[in-house]
Amino acid sequence: MRRHFAVARLSGAIVVSLLCAESRVQAQATDPVEETFLTADGIQLHGLFHASSKNSATDAVVLLLYPPGKDNNMNKGDWKGLATTLSKEGYNVFRFDWRGHGKSTTITDPARFWNLQEPTDQFPPNPWSGPWNNSRLILNAPGPGVRKIKNDLFFKDLRNPLRYAPAYLLDLAAARHHLDTKNDNGSVNTSSIYLIGSDWAAALGLAWLVTEWNRPAFAPTPNQLAFQGPGGFPTHKYVPQPLAGGMPNELGGGDISGAVWLSAARPISFNERLVKSWISGTPKMRENNPMLFLYGAKDLKAEAQADFFVNEVLVVKPPPGSSLTKLDQTLQMEVKNGAGLNGVGLLGANTGAEDTILQYLDAIQKNRAKLIRKNRGFTAPWSIQLGPDNNLAGSGFGFRP
């Protein structure tokens, strides 16, 4: 049987699931497979795929996210242990290193990477709605007259790591595309994707979800492309796929089943008004992407951040007269055995956090297990507008290159 511990601020059917867990028969975990994939701006990222030990082709996918930062990588902390546990319980798991972290340091197409401010060099050929000039954001960037083009990227190369943060949305988009490719070849089912992250990966995840709710879940057919104007390929304010013109009305955000955030945080550059505007401008995200915020006992800072996300950003309990609906599946919770631990430190320390994560995912997945796999059809990673004109649903990302 699983371990249990006291919870706070929980309601609805999710609470019943968390408090009344059943014993499980665990399958044997398979060894993870190292995989590489490309971002829209030409960086090769490295990841590890842990296939579900039950039915990989139909089982949901969990995407693990650590916060970008100096010396951080996907092997720091017990992400492997969580991935192994999830795969035994019937989830496919994918974790990867952000650009400039771990093995994700190769710029495969330097010409594209260093000229993103140009509107023509897109992958595939779409207008880039920048401007986003990597040369101004990265140390030792190739300038006029430089013969040798820098073809690698490390975190230490960033002039201001927080200013560069929007670029990580391209990494998330590439990871989603990589998973959709596996979906289309019958390996996984991306009709249900869960996010689990720590620290300020939560704020990144929220920003990325905004872009997913502004992107169709399916690539356009040739007939649809014929109506998209010069060049035949669609464009959109946030990502270069259309929301009209015969496209299916399903959006990418609808495939995100839910998220779990360990000691959720936001950098100071993500001011409160900014983060609130992302959600208020994307109501479907609030209503369709339930979230669980976990934090260690006596971690007052993490608890305050959870309060902010749950009560002020997502507004779980709207005030009287509000047009917002009450959210029963978005919760916050103290890990009683996690005193003195923060973020990924809550994993692998016998706190019971893994059990709670599984119970939360299982409760949501009961209503999504019957969703069939649908081919997405994208042939290359999509881009996301990174320049200051991208308001991410109305307010500006908060960074200026």
pLDDT (0 to 100) of residue 226: 44
293/133: higher pLDDT: 293
The answer on pLDDT for 287 being more than 70 is yes
**Please, what is the end-to-end C-alpha distance for the chain in angstroms?**
51
Residue range 234-262, pLDDT digits in tens: 434 434 444 333 334 588 999 999 999 99
The closest alpha carbon to 39, from 96, 83, 119, 117, belongs to 96
pLDDT at residue 123 above 70? no
Alpha helices in 226-290 (DSSP H): 272-280, 283-288
Q: Is the pLDDT of residue 11 over 50?
A: no
Q: What is the pLDDT of residues 61-85, one digit of tens each?
A: 999 999 999 999 999 999 999 999 9
Looking at every residue in the chain, the average pLDDT score rounds to 81
Residue among 186, 101, 141 at smallest CA distance from 401: 141
Specify the pLDDT at position 296.
Answer: 97
Which has the higher per-residue pLDDT, 324 or 293? Answer: 293
Q: Using the predicted structure, report yes or no on whether residue 21 has a pLDDT greater than 60.
A: no
Say which residue, 245 or 311, is predicted with more confidence: 311
User: What confidence tier does 162 reach under pLDDT thresholds 50, 70, 90?
Assistant: confident
Residues 195-219 pLDDT 10s: 999 999 999 999 999 888 888 888 7
Q: How far is CA 260 from the centre of its chain?
A: 11
The pLDDT-based confidence of 26 (bands split at 50, 70, 90) is low
Say what the pLDDT of residue 274 is. Answer: 85
Do the beta carbons of residue 371 and residue 192 sit within 8 Å?
yes
> Which one, of 116, 97, 165, lies nearest residue 383 by Cα?
116
Rounded to the nearest 5°, which phi and psi values hold at 365? -65, -25
The residue ranking higher by pLDDT, 273 or 104, is: 104
Distance of alpha carbon 60 from alpha carbon 92, whole angstroms: 6
Q: How confident is the model at residue 149 (pLDDT cuts 50, 70, 90)?
A: confident
The helix/strand/coil state of 229 is coil
- Contact yes or no for 296/341 (Cβ under 8 A): yes
Nearest 5°: the CA angle 344, 275, 170 is 65
CA distances from 182 to 56, 62, 235, 371 (A): 10, 13, 25, 16
3-state secondary structure of 306: helix
pLDDT value of position 41 = 86
Share of the chain above pLDDT 90, in %: 54
Nearest to 95 by CA among 129, 53, 45, 137: 45
**pTM (2 decimals)?**
0.86
| In the predicted structure, residue 390 carries a pLDDT above the cut 50 | no
Share above pLDDT 70 across residues of the chain, in percent, rounded to a whole number: 76
Strands 43-50 and 331-335: unpaired
pLDDT computed for residue 74 by the predictor: 96
Instruction: Considering the domain delimited by 13-365, tell me its CATH architecture.
Output: 3-Layer(aba) Sandwich (3.40)
Question: In terms of Cα–Cα distance, which of 156, 175, 152 is closest to 66?
Answer: 175
At CA 176, angle to CA 170 and CA 180, rounded to 5? 140
Residue 6 clears pLDDT 70, i.e. is over it: no
Question: pLDDT for 353-376, tens place per residue?
Answer: 999 999 999 999 998 888 888 999
Length of the chain: 401
How many CB atoms neighbour CB 394 within 10 A? Answer: 12
How many H helices and E strands in the chain? Answer: 11, 9
* Residues 78, 203: Cα–Cα separation, whole Å: 21
Specify the pLDDT at position 224.
53
